[in-house]
Amino acid sequence: MAGLFITLEGGDGSGKTTQAGLLESWLVGEGRRVVRTREPGGTDLGLELRQIVLHRRGHIAPRAEALLYAADRAHHVETLVRPALERGEVVLQDRYIDSSVAYQGAGRVLGGDEVRALSRWAVEGLEPDLTVLLDLDEQLGRRRLDAGRTTWDRLEAEASEFHAAVRRAYLAIADAEPGRFLVVDASRPVDDIAAEVRARVAALLDAA
């Protein structure tokens, strides 16, 4: 496709929203057309699904949770992401398939291969050109969340062991696909992280 698909991944509190905003501003300043989005919640349907998977009270069976994320992803890619890429735009997205592999595959112990296969089917195999993994110790991530809010969604509220498993899964995915990933120490200063991400994205744009 003519556009560029960039995803940001990482545990809760790792700073994805901050870095996405900084990268978007830089890209726009470079004259690029940017579509900034997220999963779940990047479409009207996605907002409804986001409310269910993150804020619904009561138990959701792990497999049902994985299927809800896949349903959001299928609709999001078909109606927003692919059209933007076909127009030659940069899609800058907070979370994608790797989140499901880490959170549902490892955190919910459903198996990463199965969850990945489900999502790849949902999106007809669409892969990011670059995935930025903001790696952060789960305890530090929790302290960041505690400092900024008084309520947490269903995944943020999980025990530290869950978040440790998610972090290990992310690092394993990145280790298996080094060409696609930029792994960044998310405990570093915000501006230093942004500069490293910009350098990697600039190289991709120059090579396009």
pLDDT tens digits for range 76-111 = 999 999 999 999 999 999 999 999 999 999 989 999
* Residue 145 in tokens: 């969340």
Q: What percent of the chain has pLDDT over 70?
A: 99
Q: Where are the domains of the chain?
A: 4-207
CATH of domain 4-207: 3.40.50.300
- Alpha helix positions (H), the chain: 16-29, 44-55, 62-76, 82-86, 97-100, 112-122, 138-148, 160-176, 190-207
Check pLDDT > 80 for residue 150: no
CB-based contact 92:22 (threshold 8 Å): no
pLDDT digits (tens, 9 = 90+) for 114-142: 999 999 999 999 999 999 999 999 889 88
Question: What pLDDT does 124 receive?
Answer: 97
User: Is residue 46 a contact partner of residue 52, using CB atoms and an 8 Å limit?
Assistant: no
Instruction: Give the model's pLDDT for residue 2.
Output: 82
Q: Output the average pLDDT for the chain.
A: 94
Q: What is the pTM of this model?
A: 0.94
pLDDT at 1 over 60: no
For residues 173 and 208, the model is more confident at 173
CA distance 50 to 59: 15
pLDDT per position as a tens digit, 49-85: 999 999 888 899 999 999 999 999 999 999 999 999 9
